[in-house]
Amino acid sequence: MTETYALISGVLGGNPIEIPDCAHPDFGPHITQEWDDGLGKHSFVFHIHVEPDNDRCKTFDRQRNEIKTYDKSPPYLKGFLGDTTTYRWRFKLGDGFQPSPNFTHIHQLKAVGGDDSSPLITLTPRAGTPDTMELSLRDSADDRTVLIKVPLKPLTGVWVEAYERVTFGYQGSYFLEIRNLSTGDLLLIYDDPDIDVWRVGAEFVRPKWGIYRSLNNKEYLRDEQVRFDQFCLAKGDDDCP
């Protein structure tokens, strides 16, 4: 089996991994491949620990364990203005997954270049009464909008599959659905054929997956494992089946 970091880098290009290994070398790699009985195959496991993990030994009020496309990735894996891209992936949050009331992103679409400080799209488990899964947008004016939120509990302890389709532009389109992998039950759906999904001055938009969470309210958090499987990235007339 190919070493995990090499496997990811071989597809996404360059060094597309943002990990807390430097702060927690005793644990070893924070992305591993482990057998999953539910899938009957190996899957990726993204590990995060309340202590001592941080954000790449650069920022200490948050912690990050993500993979991404970026400037060194093949052009086919980047979303340029006017492009239509599709992404499909599977993920599994642990039973009783504990999100932050601040942020706990598990997927982002993030611009590179121009006004790129905030993510364009985020998929965020959020602590509340009840905990929710929240899909939000920061448009070209940097206005943040919660597009939809649903109860988090049905998305925990089970494998789910997400399918996302985006046409990038100031009058673009966005679609996301998440289904229970074993039952096919629809857990979240959002569809907008006329939406501002771009950032001013952006060169391209990249997808990110993993776990990126605030440490401002540590008492809400616990050590977590988020499993991922079967990432698909497609563009133009291609699709993720």
In tens, the pLDDT along 112-133 reads 999 899 999 999 999 999 999 9
With a CB cutoff of 8 Å and minimum separation 6, the contacts of 45 are 31, 32, 33, 34, 225, 226, 227
Q: Which residue has the tokens 């998305």?
A: 155
Give the three-class secondary structure for 6. Answer: helix
pTM score over 0.95: yes
Q: State residue 43's pLDDT score.
A: 98
In angstroms, the Cα distances linking 215 to 27, 61, 108 are 19, 5, 18
Q: State residue 1's pLDDT score.
A: 66
Closest Cα partner for 159 from 179, 139, 129?
179
In the 8-state DSSP scheme, what is residue 76? G
Domain boundaries, the chain: 4-235
Q: Which two tokens stand for residue 208?
A: 């990110």
- Whether residue 156 contacts residue 94, with contact meaning beta carbons closer than 8 Å, is answered with yes
Give the integer Cα–Cα distance in Å for 169 and 157.
36
Q: State residue 177's pLDDT score.
A: 98
What residues in the chain have per-residue pLDDT under 50?
A: none
Using a pLDDT cut of 90, give the percent of the chain over it: 98
Give the three-class secondary structure for 34. Answer: strand
For 64, other C-beta atoms within 10 Å of its C-beta total 21
Q: Which two tokens stand for residue 108?
A: 């982002």
Identity at 99, one-letter amino acid code = P
- Whether residue 75 contacts residue 69, with contact meaning beta carbons closer than 8 Å, is answered with no
Q: State residue 2's pLDDT score.
A: 74
Give the three-class secondary structure for 231. Answer: strand
Tens digit of each residue's pLDDT (9 = 90 or more) over 201-220: 999 999 999 999 999 999 99
In the 8-state DSSP scheme, what is residue 9? H
Let me know if domain 4-235 sits in CATH 1.20.1250.20: no
- Whether residue 226 contacts residue 210, with contact meaning beta carbons closer than 8 Å, is answered with yes
Paired residues of 125 in beta bridges: 133
